[in-house]
Amino acid sequence: MQPESENRAAVEKSAQSANEIRYVAGADVGGTNLRLALADLSGTILARWSTSTVGLRGPEAVVERICSGVRMMLQQVSAPCEMLRSIAIGVPGIADVENGVVVAASYLMGWKDVPLRALVESRLNVPAVVDNDVNVAAIGEQWAGSAKNATDFVFLAIGTGIGAGIVLNGHLYRGSSWAAGEIGYMLLPGAADLPASVDEPGALEKRIGGEGIKGQWKKICLPEESGFNATEIFDLALDGNPRAQTLLHQSATTLAQAIYNISRILNCPLFVLGGTVGLHRALCDAAQRLLDQWMASDSPRLVRSVLGADAQIMGALRLALDSERSCARLIST
């Protein structure tokens, strides 16, 4: 039997080793929820934390929740705050990545020109990265998802709204003013003649975003069916409901048209569908059939995300890891 002093020394050594582990954090800020994950420098997730953002007033309140969540996750792994090395945050809006500013976010009330990176860095005292949540999800899919190791692909997030993360030659394309991939604002025949402003849903989003599908459904459904959401409507279509089948066909046609146009411009061979609506197999399969009819051998391949809701978290962790390694290289030189 070991003496008590040796046992105590072993425990202290183990605790010291745990404290020497470095960590990064990833955050996914949504209109109703905030999700966080903590990982070591190999990318292994060690802790998670989430909370509602409903009722929070202003960016400062969200930043407070982010910082509280990070501290709670560090407590879960018995690590001091000093062991956190970086954090990356995905937000549902246009983000100036270079300056860490949220330019506009239609699903975050009052968020306009918010210096999110500076707010988080001042509280956590670590480097922070801020990017659009769909861009972040595309990075996650390329790192550990359905587009793993792909050099050219488009990630389409179809949930309440719709957005695209574009990867060309292995690199995320953000555009000259950080608004690449805002395909929800694409103009459509029969929709409004004038483009929507950046703080309201665009024409394509109103047509195949979750809220848009629900709005169209209420115009054609029976009274007892009016409470269904987009995925439930598509489930009804699979069960043979003729009104739901009509709306599924309309949604798939609009989605296939958007993908067709993007594919003709970018010539990407792969489109990954994510988001609660985009993950529905009936929508993906119907859109693929239409594209195959229209494009034959040039038709891009549609696949559903294998990461699901974790695409944003994995992408945020990837960005945080890249930030940590970049800082480490600067320090070493």
pLDDT value of residue 331: 64
CATH fold group of domain 22-136+310-332: Nucleotidyltransferase; domain 5 (3.30.420)
Domain extents in the chain:
22-136+310-332, 148-304
Measured distance CA(38)–CA(70) in Å, rounded: 8
Measured distance CA(227)–CA(233) in Å, rounded: 10
Architecture per CATH, domain 148-304, reads as 2-Layer Sandwich (3.30)
pLDDT value of residue 329: 64
The residues of the chain scoring below 50 in pLDDT are 1-16
pLDDT value of residue 296: 87
pLDDT value of residue 55: 83
Backbone torsion region of residue 81, taken as left when φ is above 0, otherwise alpha when ψ lies between -120 and 50, otherwise beta: alpha
The reported pTM is 0.89
pLDDT value of residue 188: 85
What percent of the chain stands above pLDDT 90? 78
* Phi, psi angle pair for 132, to nearest 5°: -60, 140
- Do 147 and 153 touch, CB atoms closer than 8 A? yes
Q: Sign (positive/negative) of CA torsion 305, 106, 314, 57?
A: negative
- Do 330 and 130 touch, CB atoms closer than 8 A? no
Same fold, 22-136+310-332 and 148-304: yes
pLDDT value of residue 5: 47
CA distances from 292 to 11, 215, 255, 285, 299 (A): 62, 29, 13, 11, 5
